Amino acid sequence: MVYPGAVHSRFEHSLGVYWLASDAVHKLKTYQGQELGIESFDVQTVKLAGLLHDVGHGPFSHMFEREFLPRVRDGIKWSHEDMSLKMIDYIVDEHSIDIDSGTLKKVKEMIVASEEGKSVSSKEKQFLYDIVANGRNGIDVDKFDYIERDTRACGLGCNFQFQRLMETMRVIDNEICYRAKEYLTIHKLFSTRADLHRTVYTHPKVKAIELMVVDALIKANDYLQIDSLINEPAQYWMLDDTIVKTIETSTHQDLEESRNLIRRIRRRDIYQFCNEFAVPKENLEYFKNVTAQDIICSQNSDAQLNEEDVIVTNVKIDLTSGRNNPLERYFRILGLLLLMISCSCDD
């Protein structure tokens, strides 16, 4: 509705990440293959990780995970990355795919490499785990694809050129590194991602429609038992965006409220955006998430809002390193290098 051209799915994105992951590992093999010992086994695992990294996403992707599930399963700890691992096991077993356990294990480790607390079984060739989901610095082909894809589909300008990084990357001390002169390209990667969050992913109308879909799914959950499928791969794979059409075309009385919400979206009768507040950077560490109850408690005596009349969305947009500049580590290392060079010259 807001960006009608942005209609690509996780399928196209997964193919894109597969292709970029393949391109990245082949480039490293061309540049440093003999030095790094990159084998066909390594190429295959990286490509599979790129293809399957998002197979665990539910309907409407992050909305399902971050908005719907917490409201129907209080305190739940569930991630699409972990679900991807279950889905991979299910696919292999269901279709009797002949793949050795070592390959499967590495593919799974590469998919969850960006999650905190996740470790890999071997420190050998750790740079391979930076390609699809880079937990070290956030520079990976997953971002390359969705940033390029989303900016183009939404008609937004994109100054970030991932091809420059792909051509100049080299492995040093088991980490993928880039030329010093590409620091602006890297900064554009993170700043473009932040711009997408500000102008697309958290656009007031986008959030309004998203929250209406969430409410529709919540109201349909008792009847459809959507949340009961999240740990059952054999049923979960059937759960996708078409659930909205299932609700909309159903005549069952238990889905009437959900149907009405979806019809409101079709008529552009969406939730109204009221206001937003940007928390000053210096107050972030002391600031707690605002709730609907906080808003109701602060209303004037003349107002008659109930808690169910208000939805508050707390949004955090950063450069993937929290309050830290992702280039700070780069500058520290560069500064140390320059100091060492300077000292050597003095000698």
Classify residue 216: in a domain, yes or no. Answer: yes
Classify residue 51: in a domain, yes or no. Answer: yes
Classify residue 332: in a domain, yes or no. Answer: no
Pair (25, 92) in one structural domain = yes
Q: What pLDDT, on the 0 to 100 scale, is given for residue 308? A: 84
Pair (210, 86) in one structural domain = no
Classify residue 330: in a domain, yes or no. Answer: no
Classify residue 317: in a domain, yes or no. Answer: no
**Separation between Cα atoms, residue 30 and residue 266, nearest integer Å:** 51
Q: What pLDDT, on the 0 to 100 scale, is given for residue 53? A: 95
Pair (79, 128) in one structural domain = yes
Predicted structure pTM score: 0.86
Classify residue 86: in a domain, yes or no. Answer: yes
**Separation between Cα atoms, residue 197 and residue 155, nearest integer Å:** 15
**Separation between Cα atoms, residue 11 and residue 54, nearest integer Å:** 9
Q: 258 and 272 in contact (C-beta within 8 Å)?
A: no
Classify residue 340: in a domain, yes or no. Answer: no
Pair (18, 154) in one structural domain = yes
Pair (274, 220) in one structural domain = yes
Walk along the chain (347 residues) in steps of 10 and give the mean pLDDT of each run.
Answer: 78 96 96 91 96 94 93 90 95 94 93 71 83 90 94 85 91 90 88 91 92 96 94 93 95 96 95 88 81 84 82 81 59 45 43
Name the DSSP letter for residue 133. S
Residue (of 25, 31, 42) closest to 141 by Cα position: 25
DSSP string, 260-313: HHHHHHHTT-PPPP----PPPGGGGGGPPPP-HHHHHHTS-TT----GGG----
DSSP string, 167-185: HH-EEETTEEE--GGGHHH
Pair (171, 245) in one structural domain = no
Pair (28, 107) in one structural domain = yes
Q: What Å distances lie between residue 347 and 237, 256, 341, 343, CA to CA?
A: 65, 81, 10, 6
The count of domains in the chain is 2
Q: What pLDDT, on the 0 to 100 scale, is given for residue 310? A: 87
Backbone dihedral angles phi then psi of residue 294, each to the nearest 5 degrees: -60, -40
Pair (171, 114) in one structural domain = yes
Pair (175, 208) in one structural domain = no
80 is catalytic: yes
- Active-site entry in 26, 62, 80, 203: 80
Residue 151 belongs to domain spanning: 10-179
Pair (163, 229) in one structural domain = no
Classify residue 320: in a domain, yes or no. Answer: no
CATH of the domain at 88: 1.10.3210.10
Pair (145, 19) in one structural domain = yes
Q: What Å distances lie between residue 204 and 67, 199, 216, 279, 313, CA to CA?
A: 16, 9, 18, 17, 10
- Domain boundary (145, 179, 213) is at 179
Pair (221, 89) in one structural domain = no
